[in-house]
Amino acid sequence: MNNKENDLVTWSDTFSCGIKLIDDQHKELIRLVNEMFMHVTGPKKNELDYLTEVIEKLVKYVKIHFSTEEKIMRAVKYEGFIEHKKAHDNFIFSIIETVDEFTTGKRKSLYFFTRFLKDWIFSHIAVMDRGYFRYCRKLASRKEDGRLSITNKDIKQAVSA
């Protein structure tokens, strides 16, 4: 028996990277994973119907997010780009493989699949994303509202310096 209420995640500023677009995308990924936890029902038929509906949305969103990060990493000439991109590609492959296992009955439940997504996303944000966050922070500048953030202008200035 799972305890999905304990699996729900609340956004915290400790996850923030200072790039609003990336923070917003990470928030949306967390929202999607929470939504999946709320649809863990137990009855396989209900979960399969839900998974079919949500997985396309999730994969599409993950791809948009990865593509955004990869554009930023390329723009700022981040040295860890190749390794980071490889992790993104492997994750997409794992999602597709896991969905396949789930739909062919090899995977036990939507709960385990959602746990897999949550664990991967959080360990990735905490380790790999943090690597380029640190790199990007060096490019940030103080804006009119007093907050330290990164805009396209900061990136352009940094790469042309």
* Residue 73 sits in the site that holds ligand FEO (CB under 6 A): no
27/143 with CB nearer ligand FEO: 27
Nearer to ligand FEO (CB atom), residue 40 or residue 117: 117
Cβ closest to ligand FEO, residue 48 vs residue 87? 87
CB atoms within 10 A of CB 77: 10
Q: Which stretch binds ligand FEO (CB under 6 A): 30-38, 50-58, 101-109, 121-129?
A: 121-129
With binding defined as CB under 6 A, does residue 69 bind ligand FEO? yes
Q: In sequence order, what are the residues at sequence separation of 6 or more whose Cβ sits closer than 8 angstroms to the Cβ of residue 107?
A: 98, 101, 113
Q: Do residues 31 and 9 touch, judged by C-beta distance below 8 A?
A: no
Q: Does 124 bind ligand FEO (CB under 6 A)?
A: yes
125 part of the interface to ligand FEO, by CB under 6 A: yes
128 binds ligand FEO per the rule CB under 6 A: yes
Question: Does the protein bind ligand FEO through residue 47 (CB under 6 A)?
Answer: no
Contact between 80 and 132 under an 8 Å Cβ cutoff? The reply is: yes
Q: How far apart are CA 57 and CA 157, in angstroms?
A: 35
Residue 105's SS3 state is coil
Instruction: For the chain, list the strands marked E by DSSP.
Output: 141-142, 148-149
Question: Is residue 59 part of the contact set for ligand FEO (CB under 6 A)?
Answer: no
Chain residues in the site for ligand FEO (CB under 6 A): 26, 65, 69, 84, 88, 124-125, 128-129
